[in-house]
Structure 1
Amino acid sequence: MSTDASQLQKRIEDNQGLVVSLAKSIHRKLPPQIGMDDLIAYGQLGLAEAARTFQDDKGASFSTFAYYRIRGAIYDGISKMSWNSHAAKMQTKYQQMATDAMQSEAARNPAGANLQENAQWLGNLTEKLAIIYLASHGEETQHAFQAVADARVQRPEERLENEEIQRLLQSLLKTLSPQEQDLIRMTYYEGLSLKDAADKFGKSKSWASRLHQAILERLARALRQNV
């Protein structure tokens, strides 16, 4: 076995516990018909991809790098399963897109960043996750994105505020370019993963991920200015 192959195999062997841990954590949030073995199998695919593509000179540890690949691969696999809960599908889509956002933000926040930079990073990530949540749970997605089954009961004033923010977001989405609107439609409303959407455009997943991040940043700024 070559040195490179040996190193790749060691990364995979050393991180089996991470795959199982993530699979168990995600499994607890899913309907009982979703098997743990399936989640572990999807996680193994993510780990293998992480082992192949990891670059030591980028600053992050392999386990941190692999965490997002494994998590994303598991949710990617779940999204391809055939099951009927709209609320669960909606939550899966949110988790898929959140994983991509977190991975991108982690890449921008090198180890050893100071407290101010960490606070900025957390603020940026929180805003992006809020946009993802709003888009995933938007009212205009009809039955594909119905109200979350386990959502808490809201007071009337809370409901009105949320409805107003949803209307504002839908208005802001219309200001995007046709290509950007197509990406949002495919990934949030049609249920495609970023990779599947990228294939539709004839582009790479990294291209779709970068465009998705740019859209989130613009929407977050616009929403902040209008709320």
Structure 2
Amino acid sequence: MIEPKTPRLSHLELWEKWKSDGDRDAKKQLISEYLPLVDYVTNRMAIGLPRNVSRDDLASNGVMGLIDAIDKFDYRRGLQFETYASWRIRGAMIDGLRQGDWVPRSVREKAKRIEEAYQVLEQQYLRNVSDAEMSAYLEVSETEFRQMLQDIAVTTVCSLEDPIREEESETRKALLIDERAKNPDHKVQEFYIKESLVKGIERLTEKERIVVSLFYYEELSLSEIAEVMSLSPSRISQLHSKAILRLRGVLEHERSQLMQQ
């Protein structure tokens, strides 16, 4: 006699069995249900990373992030697990990359130099500076400057999408607050930081704004953006790096201003 199949439980039922009853089988089913999130984040993270970075390593770290998300998520708050888990998965991958010291010190130093150059020049001119002006400030040719942008493309992966708090999906692109600051006017600070970020985005070139929008809001990969904009993937990577370094500079300047108040 063939036994009837056990009815498939809904996600809510699985969450209830895991969180309320500590049912390990329910947890395993949740992991299985949400594993495609790991593949999705892995594919996005892998774009632009060096060839020596293994997709398998990314995915392995991502699975640990998924398990951590399932352990910490409170389904009763009515939040979307997919959004929360994506940040946790991505954070676990980034932690793995950092522990592996995958970016040479020389590349990090280049990124810092360019970020500081954008910050200085754009505060000085109060406008979007050209590659020629950047090259002159850095004392390199424009060709060398573009190569520097290409070299540091991998460092911008860990950028504006990093969560600020573990329990939330809010990121640096939303606000930048020093949690240790004992300032009762943090809401006012938050407002001005958001305003500063808006101004920073406005200073980006049209192409840079499009890349930021397509990558962070439409969630296209850099290769997909290259097809949409009819540009090479390397050019899209350069535009992304320039945009992120500019925005980092804006946020860092605003934070330093607030810390002095």
**TM-score, length-normalised on structure 1?**
0.47
Work out which of the two has the higher radius of gyration on C-alpha atoms and give 1 or 2. 2
**Which protein has greater RCO, CA pairs closer than 8 Å, 6+ apart?**
2
Say which structure is richer in helix: 1
